[in-house]
């Protein structure tokens, strides 16, 4: 197929996929645009260790040297973490970065795209993008949602970031037929917070049942992905109302500075980190680790079904 010339899969991952072993995709935007150096290096290695510890193979993605990279070497991980000249790449940017040889960190949407091309079905991230607050006027809706509507990858996340309009995000996903499942929760998680007030249709109790749902969906030939909401561990969760107050202040600041589009999420997360004196950053790490654990368990269970 024509896309294969752009795809560079690390030998270990290629062998695992060929043998039907479990593989978990990981994004790189969280490294290049979501965390400071060198803390992001430690995080990158820790996430990969967690995936391996659960019996799966980690596949961190990026765009480097005109290739869609699936699995990064230590040198490539350092390149993404130092983030010097590393762009933030969504689906619309992929062809530009490949054609020009630019280096890009993959968002949720682009990681899903690359994972599907490589044959990886499960992806662990922090939180998905969604419909931004005030989108009725700005039309600011994350490309993650359209990717979920069309790309056959399950995304394990701590819900969507609380900076978004969670109600409209769930409505959008429902319209496009994307299942949103809770892992041992009746409510859609709100990233730093375990609950959001938005009820889910399905509370799934085990990774094995989640794997069976994924298998059934794609065995039917239904297109698109699945959102698996995995709440942040209770000991690291933040208070919803307190975070709402912080987020509103950060949104006001972004509005005053005229920050919009793909720049708004990194700006807001940085402001929230400052306002919470780093507590939100520590929570961000723990929810990402938690998602990697669950995604790996699902990938292991799914590999036994196919």
Neighbours of 242 (CB within 10 A): 12
State the fold for domain 1-120.
Indigoidine synthase fold (3.40.1790)
Half-sphere exposure of 213 (CA within 13 A, CB side): 23
Rounded to whole angstroms, the Cα distance separating 6 from 106 reads 15
Confidence class of residue 291 from pLDDT cuts 50, 70 and 90? very high
| pLDDT at residue 134 greater than cutoff 90 | no
Question: Are residues 66 and 99 in contact, defined by beta-carbon separation less than 8 angstroms?
Answer: yes
| pLDDT at residue 1 greater than cutoff 70 | no
Confidence class of residue 135 from pLDDT cuts 50, 70 and 90? confident
Neighbours of 208 (CB within 10 A): 16
Supply the residues annotated as catalytic.
27, 161
pLDDT computed for residue 244 by the predictor? 86
For 164-194, b/e burial (b = at least 16 CB within 10 A) is: bbbebbbebbeeeebbbbbbebebbbbbbbb
- pLDDT tens digit string along 187-218? 999 999 999 999 999 999 999 999 999 999 99
Query: Rounded mean pLDDT of 164-173?
Result: 96
Using alpha carbons, select from 203, 39, 56, 38 the residue that is nearest to residue 120.
56
Residue with tokens 């989108």: 135
State the fold for domain 127-306.
Indigoidine synthase fold (3.40.1790)
Answer yes or no: same fold for 1-120 and 127-306: yes
Query: Rounded mean pLDDT of 70-92?
Result: 96
pLDDT computed for residue 272 by the predictor? 82
Domain ranges (residues) in the chain: 1-120, 127-306
Helix boundaries (H) for 10-93: 11-18, 29-32, 39-53, 74-82
Rounded to whole angstroms, the Cα distance separating 68 from 5 reads 9
**Counts for the chain of helices (H) and strands (E), in that order:** 13, 11
């Amino acid at each position: 197929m024509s896309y294969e010339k752009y795809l560079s899969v690390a030998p270990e991952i290629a062998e695992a996929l060929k043998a039907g072993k479990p593989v978990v995709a990981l994004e790189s935007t969280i490294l290049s645009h979501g965390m400071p150096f060198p803390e992001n290096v430690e995080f990158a290695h820790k996430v990969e260790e967690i995936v391996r510890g659960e019996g799966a193979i980690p596949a961190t993605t990026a765009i480097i040297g005109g290739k869609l990279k699936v699995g990064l070497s230590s040198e490539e991980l350092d390149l993404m973490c130092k983030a010097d000249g590393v762009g933030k790449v969504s689906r619309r940017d992929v062809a530009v970065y490949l054609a020009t040889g630019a280096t890009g960190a993959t968002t949720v949407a682009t990681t899903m795209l690359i994972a599907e091309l490589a044959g990886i079905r499960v992806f662990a991230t922090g939180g998905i993008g969604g419909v931004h607050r005030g989108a009725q006027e700005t039309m600011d809706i994350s490309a993650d949602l359209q990717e979920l509507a069309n790309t056959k990858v399950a995304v394990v996340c701590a819900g969507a970031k609380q900076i978004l309009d969670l109600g409209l995000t769930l409505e959008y996903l429902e319209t496009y037929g994307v299942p949103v499942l809770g892992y041992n929760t009746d409510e859609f998680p709100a990233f730093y917070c375990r609950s959001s007030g938005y009820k889910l249709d399905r509370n799934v109790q085990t990774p094995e049942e989640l794997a069976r749902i994924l298998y059934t969906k794609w065995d039917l030939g239904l297109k698109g992905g699945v959102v698996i909401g995995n709440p942040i561990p209770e000991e690291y969760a933040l208070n919803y109302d307190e975070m709402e107050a912080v987020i509103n202040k950060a949104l006001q600041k972004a509005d005053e500075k005229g920050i919009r589009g793909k720049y708004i999420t990194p700006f807001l997360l940085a402001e929230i980190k400052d306002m919470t004196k780093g507590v939100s950053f520590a929570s961000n790490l723990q929810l990402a680790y938690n998602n990697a654990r669950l995604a790996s368990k699902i990938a292991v269970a799914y590999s036994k079904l196919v």
